[in-house]
Structure 1
Amino acid sequence: MISRLFEGIANTIIKRPRLVAALIIAVFCIGFYGITLLNMQTGWETYVDKNTPAGALQNKYNTEFRSDTIILIIEAGDPLSPEILAYIDTLETDLRQQQNIESVQSITDVLKLYNGGTLPASRADTERIVNSLPKSTRDLLYPSNVLTLVQIKLTKGLSQDVQASLLGNIDTTIQALDAPPGVSIEISGSPAFSQQMGDGLSSNMAILIGGALILMIITMGILFSYVRHRFMPVLLVALGLVSSLGLMGIFGISLNMAVIGAFPVLIGLGIDYAIQFHARFDEEARKGSLDDAVFVTVTRTGPAVMYAMLATTMGFVAMQVSTVPMIRSFGIVSIIGINTCFWFSCIGMPTLALLLNYQPKTQTGQCYAVGTDACDSIIPGTEKRPNARGRKKSTFSYGQFLTDTSVRIAKNPIPVLLFAGLIALIGFQIDPTIPVESSENAFVPSDMPAKINIDKVTRVIGATGTSDLMIQGSRVTDRDTLLWMIHFQEYEQSRHAEITGSTSIATSILEHNNGLMPETQAEIDAILDTIPQSTKDSVLSDPMCGLIRFSTISIPMDRENGLKEQIVKDIEFFEPPVGFSVQPAGDFELFTSLLGAMSESKDVMTILGFIFVFAFLILVYRHLHAVSPIIPIIFVVGWNAVMMYMIGLTYNPLTATLGSMTIGVAAEYTILVMERYAEEEERLHDPILAIQESVQKIGTAITVSGLATFFGFSALCLATFPIISNFGISTLIAVGFSLMGAIFVMPAVLSLVGQLSEWLDKRRETVP
């Protein structure tokens, strides 16, 4: 069935190359249209699936309780001068006229409150009022003598698009008002952070794709110079990438940090496929007609590369078990991309070659092709030939080095496997000790203005945090429920040093009743009517849903996760009233759960990746040697952990995919070696000679393909986002180790498998 499919493709290309080219252009045009449908996603939905109970809880929290704040950092030589205070007061008035702004607060509001509704007339009056304020109020609005803050509270539940539009309006308002000399204003807060992160990701996408394509052009110019039209693979990959982006837009897949990191990966893998088809076509074009070259390239190299590509796909399929949408989207985009790039290379390369009347260059003795009978016409057999001039060659030959090394390894497989396996075992032991990073602040560039401004505010007013719990039930303001909330809040504050205070609708009632809980429900309802609506809205969305907010000191994410786990246990111990649920919510739940999800997902994805590749190999090849690629793949995953530990890399939503992605990448190279070994072993009936022939014929080709992939992946290091650049470093390590596993470990494994096959054959022969 597979052979008939590729024969049909080959015959169609031979008979109607222009029609095939037109179809390729049509697919490209559809993809180009689909790009216009793409959008950038940077919100909480990239971390938790909105269709799960956790996602529904997060959505309810954001809708009912989350009210983002934009902070204006106003720096001046003397922020309390009458001229600057008048400017801030006018700016506030203009800002309050904007839609979707719930409130605006600054030092001027406090001054007017203590001065009969007007700003103080003199600097001395201003200082007197400021000095009389509680320290907490001064720190919040006037934290230093050269800086004051304006806090703009937004309407609850605003979308990212609305927030972005509002940020633009605020900036326009600031620019329209003439500021006094020496005054500078910077915009901070989570909405500005999200907007700049989205803009930064968009610019990084252009840098990554452009950088990867430039690196591919350089790579093709250096490593692929022996063929005609050496840059054709870059064109094919570009067509495949645009089509992949278009399919994303058509299928409604949004861009995010992980998806952007996938593009250089697709270019690196895609160029690998294009090189293999181009190299095989070049070889076949030297033997006969172009029509024959098309047929042999498509029917022999096509299936071999397709099986390798599908094995790579298995690693990305394993990512779908992750509970983190960002990781799943990375896997989906990678699957779409490598399949698109494969078919563009398989169909597009021979089609273009026919239309261009491809003419090979003069024979150079180089061949980077793979597939059945590849490079047989260029690379000689194993026989020794004297030098034409009777002299010994003194120049280094990489191909001969690989061949000699593989033979030595094949003759002594046990020590090699023991050494490689020991390093891998160490890697699996230390992998759990590698830190996991889930803080969004650590994902973005350190010089991003919004991050700098947030850090500036944090330094000035101090680092704090909140741990929110959502309580839901029949009636949150029921007296028994309120008493439970008070007791639970007091219990948590007494048990956890990280908690500095707490608020809820219960504490608001106490504050409005002299610190006492009313004795009857009627009294409670009466007091509720006296509490300002803005205060109630912050902790009570409706009679059935409320919020308990614990104020905390700033603590690392792993410690915050430990606090959450302990609070959850305390909730079970303290037993909420019957019919009520109390759950962590907001960022307290979002990023701590992300920490746990990554830790669990990365191990599950890796194990599932092994299972998928193993099942795929058994299903496709149905032979003992089919399991041989699994061993070097296992070793490579272990080596990755050792290197990550040594250079201090951490796991994040992208590097968490490294295990399963490595399985896919390493599977390609090891499968190509295994396929060639099976072909040579069937011909020679000698495992050692088969290994020698295999490495001699495709060792250099695999190295060149790996180097092309390596340079494609290296574009990730150009990213300004640490989450992407660190992923780039880890993928380069993975590709390098994958090549080592295919070239140096596979001969040892195949040698043992060959010996085992010979022993089984002899045993079957002796059995009557």
Structure 2
Amino acid sequence: MQSIFGALAGIINNHPKSVALTAAVIMVFALFGASMVEMATGTETYIDITTPEGSLVYQYENTYGSDMIFLMIEGENLYDPQVLEYLGTITADFSNEQHVTSVLSIADVVKGRTGGTIPGSAAEIQAIVDEQPSLLSTGGQSGMMTLMMVGLEPAVSMDVQSAVLQNLKAIIDITPAPPGVTVTVSGSAAFADEMEQEMGTSTGMLIGLALLLMVVAMGFLFGNVRYRFLPVGIVVMGVILSFGVMGWSGTPLSMVVMAAFPVMIGIGIDYAIQFQTRFDEEVRKGSIADAVTTTITQSGPAVVIALGATCLGFVALITAPFPMVVDFGVICIIGVSCCYLSALVLIPTFGTLVQYRPLESREVRSKGKKSGPGMMERYDMALGSVAGKIARNPVPILLLLGCVAVLGIPLDSEVIISTDEADMVPPDMPALVSMSKLGDVIGSTSSLPLIVRSNDVLAPDVLQWMAGFGDYATAQNDEITGATSIATLLTAANGGTLPKSKIAIQEALALLPEDTRNSYLNGGTEAVIQFSMTDIGMSEAEGVVSKLTSDLAWMEPPAGVSAVFTGSIVMFTDMMTDITAAKTGMNVLGFVLITAFLILVYRRAAAITPMIPIIMIIGWNTVIMYVIDLQYNILTATLGAMSIGIASEYTILIMERFDEERERGCGCTEAIQTAIQRIGTAITISGLTTVFGFSALMLSEFPILSNFGLVTVLTVGFSLIGAILVMPAVLSVTCRYADHHAVKEPAVSGP
């Protein structure tokens, strides 16, 4: 490894301009790749479609999941003939749009009763509506609200949905509405489109805020070196490289992946600080060339070990069952690696090109006047004093903080798990507000589908079972408001009774419009029962799905027929169980990977000591989440693995310095005190700047990101506590144990 770092130092010393030019070319390619990054929302970001459950959800959405766009029309009197004329006009224009399969409004209901004409008075229109209640006339007798439903082709891409939405909005804008009438576009397609736009805006805002906070942090905390804002520029390079890799590799930007950028900025700034601090220190001792060589060959390997441990924490995220979490882990690994490489190469190169000169020391600036130690020097001494006291008496601090961590074991199951997508997005997002209003009007904007498969789903006994189970489930579950299937459609087409013979079934089937038939029937071997539900949260929905599954086991389908619940509700309720299992699995894997890594690198059992404070940190995280009433979601479930990755850097660096002091002949207490005093300030500055980077997440309008930002800020704070308070105690115990056995061994082996 040293030969690689030595060769890099030689190249930078001999060809700094060529290195800078190469870096500039790479940045250009990265910028081009960044322009190819695409947004991702929807099912494929939540569930792996290669699994049986995921493939069923994906197949259902592609076969039956025609995304419906709802238009909420509000006004003082929607039964006014002028309003129905307006609805008829935009209905005709909507119908001409590509990928639109159907358009239905109250105007169509009225025309269906009058032979295609609109009555001349509001009273006549209201009389027709009162005689034929319809979902489209949701305003009741007042006539103040109605709906228009626009059906899209199944399985159209998000780009197509977005294009259709923009065209519909354009038609609404250019078609004059009657006075007092407003039209609001809603539905899942509109929600996904607006969320995608919000994600693009939010990502830029988060990166900008994180960098701004970095500038503030550097201004206050890094004033002892020249070019104090250089680490911010290095991190910008790392972010650009990360975006470039995303674009070239086709990795999409999802709601969770947005959080990766403040994470990489927070961690990347730490690497830049470490390299610039070491470079500044070495320049004070000798030439710039020697500083380049020492910085790269000494700090390079040390920081790459910390980088490896951090990346292994993120590797654990790749095992998550959620694609967006997998992408988050991958981008975090790529991001922190790009930041490390940028800092390793660009800081020495920059120092060489500008002929770096360190700032004058405080003593020189005071022109020989006697002055006391500065703030950071006093902080160093305070850390050393505290570390010395802990090293001399380590047990109390281990017991106290260890007991707090143990509390996290029983409290973990008490932390609420949330998978409701509405809780993850900005609460004031117009599409979410309109979706909520739509849910109040129609009861719910989603349904629970049951896929039924058989050699012949149109067989009389299969149809009889579908109709019977739909009625039974509706009667037994208050949250189910109705069940619609090919059986209920055939019943309606056959005058209110379900056809009994195959001939009668085919005759009734021929009466159904093709679009309607295809929404509930896929050939002759598959059909779907759509259970409409009241507007309930995911916790309640989980209970409904469980109850319906029990009902299905009790009222089994005929022989040779299978029935499985699927759809978004099942996907999100299953995620609640998956999150519990995933966070435990990711934590365990993170521990195993980093422990094995440390033993492999240091080749001694004592190398696992940095993991002991990390175990406590995970326990503290659970306690604080319970105390401040935070919830586990698809992103905060990664907190344990992230804590392992982030905290390991600080504890490893302290162990490295402790080992260095021991090699110089220092005793346990002295080595611990010196290690903490020498690098405690650097770790504190790194930790605080990392906090500044993660703080940007707290300002996000997405609750899933702001909550994650809060817990990661607390995690970094706990990591500092673990490194500065717990690590000295752990090193003291292990060092005393090693010294005790080192004394006994000669006595045992002697004559």
Superposed pair shares fold, TM > 0.5:
yes
5+ residue gaps, structure 2, are none
5+ residue gaps, structure 1, are 367-387
Return the alpha-carbon distance in structure 1 between the equivalents of residues 711 and 429 of structure 2. Answer: 24
Structure 2 equivalent of residue 63 of structure 1: 62
Distance 1:211 1:62, change over 3 A: same
Structure 1 equivalent of residue 44 of structure 2: 45
Letter of the aligned partner of 1:430 in structure 2? L
Letter of the aligned partner of 1:713 in structure 2? F
Alignment partner of 1:539 is 2:538? no
Alignment partner of 1:184 is 2:194? no
Structure 2 equivalent of residue 265 of structure 1: 263
Q: Are 2:264 and 2:335, in contact at CA under 8 Å, matched by a contact in 1?
A: yes
Letter of the aligned partner of 2:332 in structure 1? S
Q: Are 1:624 and 1:753, in contact at CA under 8 Å, matched by a contact in 2?
A: no
Distance 1:77 1:486, change over 3 A: closer
1:253 Cα deviation after fit? 0.3
1:244-291 CA-to-partner distances (Å, cap 9, x unmatched) read: 110011111000011111101100100000000000000000000011
Structure 1 equivalent of residue 88 of structure 2: 89
Structure 1 equivalent of residue 711 of structure 2: 730
Alignment partner of 1:99 is 2:80? no
Alignment partner of 1:124 is 2:123? yes
Distance 1:494 1:131, change over 3 A: closer
Return the alpha-carbon distance in structure 1 between the equivalents of residues 223 and 481 of structure 2. Answer: 67
Return the alpha-carbon distance in structure 2 between the equivalents of residues 521 and 72 of structure 1. Answer: 39
Alignment partner of 1:22 is 2:21? yes
Letter of the aligned partner of 1:702 in structure 2? I
Alignment partner of 1:407 is 2:388? yes
1:15-69 CA-to-partner distances (Å, cap 9, x unmatched) read: 2212221221122111111112110001111001122222321221111101111
Q: How does 1:12-411 map to 2 (within 5 A)?
A: 12-134=11-133, 137=135, 139-140=137-138, 145-364=143-362, 397-411=378-392
Return the alpha-carbon distance in structure 2 between the equivalents of residues 146 and 474 of structure 1. Answer: 48
1:52-101 CA-to-partner distances (Å, cap 9, x unmatched) read: 22232122111110111112222223222222222222221222221222
Structure 1 equivalent of residue 647 of structure 2: 666
Alignment partner of 1:595 is 2:583? no
1:514 Cα deviation after fit? 5.2
Distance 1:256 1:392, change over 3 A: closer
Return the alpha-carbon distance in structure 1 between the equivalents of residues 309 and 278 of structure 2. Answer: 21
Structure 2 equivalent of residue 748 of structure 1: 729
Q: Are 1:107 and 1:142, in contact at CA under 8 Å, matched by a contact in 2?
A: no
Letter of the aligned partner of 1:232 in structure 2? L
Structure 2 equivalent of residue 385 of structure 1: none
Aligned residue pair count = 745
1:464 Cα deviation after fit? 6.3
Structure 2 equivalent of residue 474 of structure 1: 455
1:578 Cα deviation after fit? 4.4
Return the alpha-carbon distance in structure 1 between the equivalents of residues 438 and 517 of structure 2. Answer: 27
Return the alpha-carbon distance in structure 1 between the equivalents of residues 206 and 406 of structure 2. Answer: 34
Distance 1:140 1:724, change over 3 A: same
Moved more, 457-466 or 59-68: 457-466
Q: How does 1:417-566 map to 2 (within 5 A)?
A: 417-463=398-444, 465-513=446-494, 516-566=497-547
Letter of the aligned partner of 1:236 in structure 2? I
Return the alpha-carbon distance in structure 2 between the equivalents of residues 212 and 358 of structure 1. Answer: 27
Q: Are 1:67 and 1:156, in contact at CA under 8 Å, matched by a contact in 2?
A: yes
1:408 Cα deviation after fit? 1.2
Q: How does 1:631-646 map to 2 (within 5 A)?
A: 631-646=612-627
Q: Are 2:696 and 2:709, in contact at CA under 8 Å, matched by a contact in 1?
A: yes
Return the alpha-carbon distance in structure 1 between the equivalents of residues 603 and 435 of structure 2. Answer: 59
Structure 2 equivalent of residue 5 of structure 1: 4
Q: Are 1:73 and 1:149, in contact at CA under 8 Å, matched by a contact in 2?
A: yes
Moved more, 140-149 or 352-361: 140-149
Give 1:625's match in structure 2, choosing from 589, 606, 623.
606
Alignment partner of 1:709 is 2:707? no
Return the alpha-carbon distance in structure 2 between the equivalents of residues 22 and 183 of structure 1. Answer: 61
Which SS does the other structure have where 1:257 is aligned? coil
1:350-401 CA-to-partner distances (Å, cap 9, x unmatched) read: 01110110011112489xxxxxxxxxxxxxxxxxxxxx98999999922122
Return the alpha-carbon distance in structure 1 between the equivalents of residues 471 and 401 of structure 2. Answer: 56
Return the alpha-carbon distance in structure 2 between the equivalents of residues 68 and 85 of structure 1. Answer: 25
Distance 1:427 1:62, change over 3 A: same
Which SS does the other structure have where 1:433 is aligned? coil
1:142 Cα deviation after fit? 5.7
Q: Are 2:46 and 2:322, in contact at CA under 8 Å, matched by a contact in 1?
A: yes
Letter of the aligned partner of 2:646 in structure 1? V
Distance 1:702 1:391, change over 3 A: closer
Q: Taking structure 2 as the reference length, what is the TM-score of the superposition?
A: 0.95
Return the alpha-carbon distance in structure 2 between the equivalents of residues 401 and 393 of structure 1. Answer: 12
1:570 Cα deviation after fit? 4.1
Give 2:660's match in structure 1, choosing from 659, 679, 682.
679
Return the alpha-carbon distance in structure 1 between the equivalents of residues 392 and 49 of structure 2. Answer: 56
Distance 1:86 1:22, change over 3 A: same
Letter of the aligned partner of 2:282 in structure 1? E
Letter of the aligned partner of 2:318 in structure 1? Q
Moved more, 593-602 or 742-751: 593-602
1:413 Cα deviation after fit? 1.2
Return the alpha-carbon distance in structure 1 between the equivalents of residues 104 and 646 of structure 2. Answer: 55
Return the alpha-carbon distance in structure 2 between the equivalents of residues 221 and 289 of structure 1. Answer: 27
Structure 2 equivalent of residue 369 of structure 1: none
Distance 1:53 1:395, change over 3 A: closer
Structure 2 equivalent of residue 606 of structure 1: 587
1:530 Cα deviation after fit? 3.1
Return the alpha-carbon distance in structure 1 between the equivalents of residues 375 and 49 of structure 2. Answer: 65
Letter of the aligned partner of 1:129 in structure 2? I
Distance 1:100 1:390, change over 3 A: closer
Which SS does the other structure have where 2:478 is aligned? coil
Q: Are 1:284 and 1:297, in contact at CA under 8 Å, matched by a contact in 2?
A: yes
Q: Taking structure 1 as the reference length, what is the TM-score of the superposition?
A: 0.93
1:238 Cα deviation after fit? 0.5
Distance 1:392 1:473, change over 3 A: closer
Return the alpha-carbon distance in structure 2 between the equivalents of residues 339 and 759 of structure 1. Answer: 41
1:717 Cα deviation after fit? 1.5
Return the alpha-carbon distance in structure 2 between the equivalents of residues 144 and 679 of structure 1. Answer: 82
Return the alpha-carbon distance in structure 1 between the equivalents of residues 307 and 355 of structure 2. Answer: 29
Structure 1 equivalent of residue 548 of structure 2: 567
Which SS does the other structure have where 1:397 is aligned? helix
1:605 Cα deviation after fit? 0.7
Return the alpha-carbon distance in structure 2 between the equivalents of residues 574 and 610 of structure 1. Answer: 46
Return the alpha-carbon distance in structure 1 between the equivalents of residues 555 and 695 of structure 2. Answer: 53
1:533 Cα deviation after fit? 2.6
Q: Are 1:624 and 1:757, in contact at CA under 8 Å, matched by a contact in 2?
A: no
Q: Are 1:69 and 1:152, in contact at CA under 8 Å, matched by a contact in 2?
A: yes
Which SS does the other structure have where 1:468 is aligned? strand
Distance 1:145 1:520, change over 3 A: closer
Letter of the aligned partner of 1:203 in structure 2? T
1:497 Cα deviation after fit? 3.0
1:144 Cα deviation after fit? 5.1
